Structure 1
Amino acid sequence: MSRLNLTEWALKHKEIVYFFVILTFVMGIFSYRQLGRMEDPDFVIRQMLISVAWPGATARQVEEQVTDKIEKKLQDTPGIDYLKSYSQPGKAVIYVTLKDSVNEKDVRPTWLEVRNMVNDIKSTLPQGVVGPSFNDRFDDVFGCIYALTSDGYSYEEMRERAEQIRRTLLGVKNVKKVDLIGVQPERIYIEMESSKLAQLGIDPNVIINAVKTQNTMNASGMVETSSDNVYLRVSGIVDDVAALRNLPLRVNERTFRLGDIAKVDRSYV
């Protein structure tokens, strides 16, 4: 029995060979057109960022009393691959990374468990610690960054315009989240000259306490009516520079306006 010579067979049956070549070509085009294509393909980020603030603490204090406690609590969490942390004066950042074998549908439940475990030891953290805060929403949106610049406009005018653009974009289909980055918050600054205060015999704490006392809202009672109860509140909150400059201060049997002894201006951080 002679062996099959594939080359000889192909030369004798050209029509069959051409048919399979064309069939393969057509199937290739069809398969290519059926491939999933996305400009921004979905992917899962198996990492969480935990941040903690402790104002005034040294890096060693943050590491020993905050970072180590959180890391030890999370070490036995199922699915965690490794932990990486950075302790700095006043704050700590901990990166929690899951194993690649963790199924996509199990990622969110794992992050919920991490939150619960960290919150379990929150009461054991030192007094003054702010947080912990968690960020695991790296992959819920695809980001685009647009810069807004302008000459001749104040920060407040640009912020108002940016807010208008933000509200417009939130109404666009498939837009989930719009954040403003780099917004300069407005503040009212009170600048006092120590030499002038010393000359007038005024303690700076007197000014600080007077502003704090004025800038409060207190409950003053309730008025009962036949249909409802109306709560009364006395508000002394000052958000106007002119009103703050006219704030009266009683010191050593003398009355001063805040604007007479301190510089009061509205500015940005």
Structure 2
Amino acid sequence: MNIPKYSLENRKVIYFFLAVLLIGGIISFFKLPKKEDAPFVIKTAVLVTQYQGANPHEVEKLITEPIEREIQSMTDVYQIKSESYFGLSKISIELQPTIDPDYMPVKWDELRRKVANIQPKLPSGASTITVNDDFGDVYGIYYALTADAGFSYTDLRDWAQRIRTQLTPIEGVQKVMLYGEQTEVINVKISTSKLSALGIDPTSIMGILQKQNIQVNTGDIATEIYQLRLRTEGTYTSLEDIENQLIISKDGRKVRLGDIATVERGYYDPPSTLMRVNGKRAIGIGVASGAKDNVVAVGEAVDEKLAEIEQLLPIGIELTSLYPEDKIADEANNGFILNLIESLVIVILIIFVVMGSRAGMLIGSSLLFSVGGTLLIMLMWGVGLNRTSLAAFIIAMGMLVDNAIVVTD
């Protein structure tokens, strides 16, 4: 058999190409975005509209059908599902599976424009249409802010919001979500016996409290240089203001609200969400990175910022890591490198013993150059390292060894 002989120039080209594959693969490994799981985009949105007091048939005719007709004019809609309940309309929109994920924000903007067009045509009692399209957000880096019994939920919430404000500007952080916040309310506990004695209607008290706390624009004063806005001082600023609110009975007598009711601060009961960690009250802090961002680098930046914030936390409030996606992804990628090295060593040693040194070097180098070239192509195409791509690498490595042995043989 005639074996072709390569000239010096051809060998230089081959060596240069192999060097590009090897060096480019090493550089690509450190530059590729790393995540625990492959990023995915959910191409579904849900529209929710409330219409209090209406039965399902009325909700269907007055709310659901007009919204559906407006949405049907959108392009790339795969299917629309709707459900009508007592006082509630729920519409699910699924777009075509073939839509490019980078094009999804444009489609959701189009959906919101359609919603804005149909909103004025709904009955006056209908609420604003709520559009929810962020089902694909994954909060892989998750912390819990816990507090001892000496701190209130308000203290815990204030520190959690301060942490969110500090983490949001970090490069690669797409969104920061707080879980388990408690809504602060003012509880007015009225004595029914005193109301009966004074002849005061409880609904009148509710109406007075609602009207008193409304911001009213009383007008502007415009001059040649300045424009001043006038505002009346009618809002409540403290519990004492609410207690000093005057209530007029049916016989014309004026009574302080604090004389017939107990006014105190509290939290919405029952709470919508509650969170506890190791038996302590907690607020969850979830950090979501972008689909093309390196979660390992993002996690390191978040840890550095949190280390600075922890020095300012009062004794009794602590940060606890619940799920560090950045560390899990880093361990998975380091494990891949370890598997690659082990595979090369085992294959080369076995081939050296069975088929000789030349076959061992050929098969081992083919495996190394193939992986390096694949990493380089992944960097150019914007494909990151995650469980899916690493599993594909491990499977492909076995096939590469088999093919290399067949070709060498």
| 8 Å CA contact retained: 1:54, 1:62 | yes
Letter in 2 for 1:250: I
Of 98, 101, 116, which residue of structure 2 is paired with 1:101? 98
Shift of 1:220: 4.6
Q: Which residue of 1 aligns with 2:246?
A: 248
Counting only pairs closer than 5 Å after superposition, residues 106-145 of structure 1 correspond to structure 2 as 106-139=103-136, 143-145=140-142
Q: What is the alpha-carbon distance in structure 1 between the residues aligned to residue 143 and residue 60 of structure 2?
A: 37
TM, length-normalised to structure 2: 0.53
Q: What is the alpha-carbon distance in structure 2 between the residues aligned to residue 37 and residue 221 of structure 1?
A: 58
Bigger Cα displacement from structure 2, 70-79 vs 139-148: 139-148
Structure 1 residues 49, 145: CA separation in 2 closer, same or farther (over 3 Å shift)? farther
Q: Which residue of 2 aligns with 1:175?
A: 173
Q: Which residue of 2 aligns with 1:4?
A: none
Secondary structure, aligned partner of 2:128: strand
Q: What is the alpha-carbon distance in structure 1 between the residues aligned to residue 160 and residue 209 of structure 2?
A: 32
Shift of 1:147: 2.5
Q: How many pairs does the alignment contain?
A: 251
Shift of 1:156: 0.5
Q: What is the alpha-carbon distance in structure 2 between the residues aligned to residue 45 and residue 237 of structure 1?
A: 44
Q: Which residue of 1 aligns with 2:89?
A: 92
Letter in 1 for 2:96: K
Counting only pairs closer than 5 Å after superposition, residues 29-44 of structure 1 correspond to structure 2 as 30=22, 37-40=32-35, 41-44=38-41
Q: What is the alpha-carbon distance in structure 2 between the residues aligned to residue 121 and residue 114 of structure 1?
A: 11
Of 142, 159, 162, which residue of structure 2 is paired with 1:161? 159
Q: What is the alpha-carbon distance in structure 2 between the residues aligned to residue 190 and residue 51 of structure 1?
A: 32
Shift of 1:138: 4.2
| 8 Å CA contact retained: 1:248, 1:256 | yes
Shift of 1:76: 4.8
What are the ranges of 5 or more consecutive residues in structure 1 without an aligned counterpart? 1-8, 14-22
Of 232, 235, 244, which residue of structure 2 is paired with 1:234? 232
Letter in 2 for 1:146: Y
Q: Which residue of 2 aligns with 1:264?
A: 263
Structure 1 residues 184, 77: CA separation in 2 closer, same or farther (over 3 Å shift)? same
Q: Which residue of 1 aligns with 2:44?
A: 47
Q: Which residue of 1 aligns with 2:187?
A: 189
Q: Percent identity?
A: 32
Structure 1 residues 142, 243: CA separation in 2 closer, same or farther (over 3 Å shift)? closer
Structure 1 residues 240, 108: CA separation in 2 closer, same or farther (over 3 Å shift)? same
Of 48, 51, 56, which residue of structure 1 is paired with 2:53? 56
Q: Which residue of 2 aligns with 1:3?
A: none
Q: What is the alpha-carbon distance in structure 2 between the residues aligned to residue 56 and residue 147 of structure 1?
A: 40
| 8 Å CA contact retained: 1:218, 1:235 | no
Letter in 1 for 2:111: V
Letter in 2 for 1:176: Q
| 8 Å CA contact retained: 1:80, 1:96 | yes
Structure 1 residues 218, 47: CA separation in 2 closer, same or farther (over 3 Å shift)? closer
Structure 1 residues 138, 201: CA separation in 2 closer, same or farther (over 3 Å shift)? closer
Of 56, 68, 72, which residue of structure 2 is paired with 1:71? 68
Shift of 1:95: 2.0
Q: What is the alpha-carbon distance in structure 1 between the residues aligned to residue 158 and residue 79 of structure 2?
A: 43
